[in-house]
């Protein structure tokens, strides 16, 4: 059965806070749920989560942290990407190894290996085994690559 909560979590109704409130029944409940609970997707060979959105951070100015990266330190085979709170840099995690990139006062990019940051939106996954797919030589443009990735993903399930 499709519930209001499922619609909210799946993103069909998160275009704005007012729309979300219509689906969940209350504006304060909609804002609290989104700020606390990430959406989880279980796939074949992986688990994926996301929280927040680019639209909310950029268009609506919601740049405060929804997730403290320190809560992810014990997840095995972790991969993730998103901006640092206030859009002050980028957080990247590759196989459990974090990298926080920020532009310093010297206008150079400084990278630290740390989970010490909050993020306004983030996507992360646990992937223990990757499927290697060779990109054919006839893939030469972004459009070719976009089509290839979509087709390869559909084949992999």
The confidence score (pLDDT) of residue 36 equals: 55
* pTM: predicted TM-score of the whole model, two decimal places: 0.68
Domain boundaries, the chain: 1-37, 38-156
Q: What is the pLDDT of residues 68-94, one digit of tens each?
A: 999 999 898 999 999 999 999 999 999
* Both tokens assigned to 43: 């796939």
Q: CATH topology for 38-156? A: 60s Ribosomal Protein L30; Chain: A; (3.30.1330)
Q: Could you tell me the two tokens for 151?
A: 């087709």
Q: Which of 1-10, 101-110, 114-123, 140-149 comes out lowest in average pLDDT?
A: 1-10
Q: Which helix (H) or strand (E) holds 89?
A: strand 89-94
């Amino acid at each position: 059965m499709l519930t209001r909560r499922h619609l909210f979590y799946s993103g069909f109704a998160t275009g704005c806070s007012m729309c979300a409130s219509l689906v969940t029944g209350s504006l304060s409940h909609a804002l609290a749920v989104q700020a606390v609970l990430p959406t989880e997707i279980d796939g074949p060979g992986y688990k994926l989560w996301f929280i927040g959105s680019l639209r909310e951070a950029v268009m609506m100015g919601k740049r405060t942290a929804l997730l403290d990266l320190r809560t992810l330190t014990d997840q095995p085979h972790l991969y993730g990407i998103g901006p640092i709170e206030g859009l002050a840099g980028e957080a990247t995690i590759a196989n459990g190894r974090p990298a926080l990139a920020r532009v310093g006062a010297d206008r150079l990019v400084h990278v630290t290996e740390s989970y010490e940051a909050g993020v306004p939106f983030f996507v992360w996954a646990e992937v223990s085994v990757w499927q290697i797919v060779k990109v054919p030589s006839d893939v030469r443009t972004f459009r070719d690559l976009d089509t290839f990735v979509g087709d390869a993903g559909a084949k992999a399930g």
